[in-house]
Amino acid sequence: MKLVVDTNVLFSFFRKESKTRELILNFELLDLNTPAFCISELLKYRETICEKSDISDTELSEVLEDISLFVGVASLSEYEEFISRAKSISPDRDDIDIFALALSLNCAIWSNDKALKKQDVVKVYSTEEILGFLGLR
């Protein structure tokens, strides 16, 4: 299953016992991608992530490396031609890159943001829904 991963899902990856981390690390059935913008967002909240996840800055860097092994990171040039359409679809301006990448890859989005489901062009699945698809609930 090919999916574009939203930043809110990647935030969950930093919690050592999270279902999100387990899904990303252990399921070859998932072909995961995210815009480089999402990685920038994670770095922007570096201190908060370390504090809430009880990890050091060094551990955060290691986890980011782990993410890059399991989640493809797409540059803007890879989905740029879909930005205009994504602007007309995305319920939240902060998620335009997520929608543009999903449109370019012709796939769904993995996000726990319920607002993203307020459109009917790109399918959006929550972590719980993905766990259900994989029979892990």
Looking from the CA of 129 toward its CB, the CA atoms found within 13 Å total: 15
- What is the C-alpha to C-alpha distance for residues 78 and 100, in angstroms, rounded to an integer? 10
pLDDT of 101 reads 98
Cα separation of 13 and 69, whole Å? 13
* Superfamily classification of domain 2-133: 5'-nuclease (3.40.50.1010)
Using the predicted structure, report yes or no on whether residue 137 has a pLDDT greater than 80: no
- pLDDT score for 63: 86
- Domain boundaries, given as residue ranges, for the chain: 2-133
Q: Which tens digits make up the pLDDT trace of 43-55? A: 999 999 999 888 8
First to last CA, the chain: 17
pLDDT digits (tens, 9 = 90+) for 67-119: 888 999 999 999 999 999 999 999 999 999 999 999 999 999 999 999 999 99
- DSSP H helices, 71-106, are 83-89, 96-105
pTM: 0.91
What per-residue confidence (pLDDT) applies to 26? 72
